Amino acid sequence: MSRSEQVALGGLFAFTLSALFGYWAFALHPEWLPQTESALTFYSISFRFFAQLQIAVAAVALTVPLVKRMRAGWVAGFVAVFVVSFLSEFMGTGYGIPFGGYSYTALLGVQLGGRVPALIPVSWFLMALPSYVLARLAMPAQPTWVQLTMAAVLLVIWDLALDPAMSFLTPYWVWEETGPYYGMPWMNLFGWFVTGLVLMALLHRFGGGRWVEAVGGRFSLLYYAGVLLMPLGMLVAAGEWLGVVVTLVALALWYGVALGLQVRDSAADQAGTRAEPLAAATPAGD
């Protein structure tokens, strides 16, 4: 990783930790907030501002390696992911497909089409890309469809922490129907997976291995952790351990499956290597 990428990741973690401290200190303990008009005004503005700024900081951090190594070659993939994820969210907020019925509040800023905050399609790209890179690197010998499926699952795992943090602990979006997991309907996970598969296919079409070369495994892993830290940290601060455990167990299972596929592929390669000399030494016709 270059120095600029280290600085970008450092900025992401520093901002996230400061925002988490603010959430713990004032959102969870409003009695600690000075009961003055200026303090109350600042808090109401910062509650909206910091959520939007966190997405912006994450976007800047990811742009550093992309611009450094791909120049403008990443823009087409970003536009494709932005458009498709926006359409998916627009259908979801209007017709309940594919996530179930929900609506965004005004806390995430300007909305496209009067329903979807402009930052939301950006955030899809921000986590779809590292998920794609990590899946490609974790199981390089697997068929493309397996890599894309595992990438989509890694994206869904993010939502296991994101949704409880942003719709249960805070009102960034509101569900029209309740579900068993922090009020989230199970259909939402299905919608995330389907949307994720489409986004991974787009990333594969508009970049493929160039994403892996540009971002790299170490950066992708730290970046994914940095973005996940915000909702996961909110759950920890609020004592919502179910969401924390579910997210971490899902990550562990994902890693276990990826590791199992690696071991199987390695064993198959070794068996093939041992068989080749034997086949070469066997006389023709035997």
Q: Which long-range contacts (CB under 8 A, 24 or more apart) does 264-267 make?
A: 265/139, 265/141, 265/142
How many other C-beta atoms lie within 10 A of the C-beta of residue 16? 20
Give the per-residue pLDDT at 12.
96
Asked, as a colleague might, if the bond just before 98 is cis with ω within 30 of 0, I would say yes
Alpha carbons 107 and 49: distance in angstroms, whole number: 8
List the pLDDT tens digit at each of the 286 positions of the chain: 889 999 999 999 999 999 999 888 877 777 666 777 665 666 667 777 888 999 999 999 999 999 999 999 999 999 999 999 999 999 999 999 999 999 999 999 999 999 999 999 999 999 999 999 999 999 999 999 999 999 999 999 999 999 999 999 999 999 998 899 999 999 999 999 999 999 999 999 999 899 999 999 999 999 999 999 999 999 999 999 999 999 999 999 999 999 999 888 778 777 765 555 544 444 444 3
Give the per-residue pLDDT at 1.
84
Give the per-residue pLDDT at 49.
81
Give the per-residue pLDDT at 93.
95
Question: Which residues neighbour 12 within 8 Å (Cβ) at sequence distance 6 or greater?
Answer: 57, 58, 61, 223, 226, 227
Helix H, strand E, coil C: the string for the chain is: CCHHHHHHHHHHHHHHHHHHHHHHHHHCCHHHCCCCHHHHHHHHHHHHHHHHHHHHHHHHHHHHHHHHHHCCCCHHHHHHHHHHHHHHHHHHHHHCCCCCCEEECHHHCCEECCCEECHHHHHHHHHHHHHHHHHHHHCCCCCHHHHHHHHHHHHHHHHHHHHHHHHHHCCCEEECCCCCECCECCHHHHHHHHHHHHHHHHHHHCCCHHHHHHHCHHHHHHHHHHHHHHHHHHHHHHCCHHHHHHHHHHHHHHHHHHHHHHHHHHHHHHHHHHHHHHHHHCCCCC
Burial track 246-261 (b if 16+ CB lie within 10 A, e otherwise): bbeebbeebeeebeeb
Give the per-residue pLDDT at 271.
73
Give the per-residue pLDDT at 252.
98
Q: Is the Cα dihedral 184, 189, 195, 200 positive or negative? A: positive
Give the per-residue pLDDT at 278.
42
Give the per-residue pLDDT at 43.
65
Give the per-residue pLDDT at 286.
38
Give the per-residue pLDDT at 136.
96
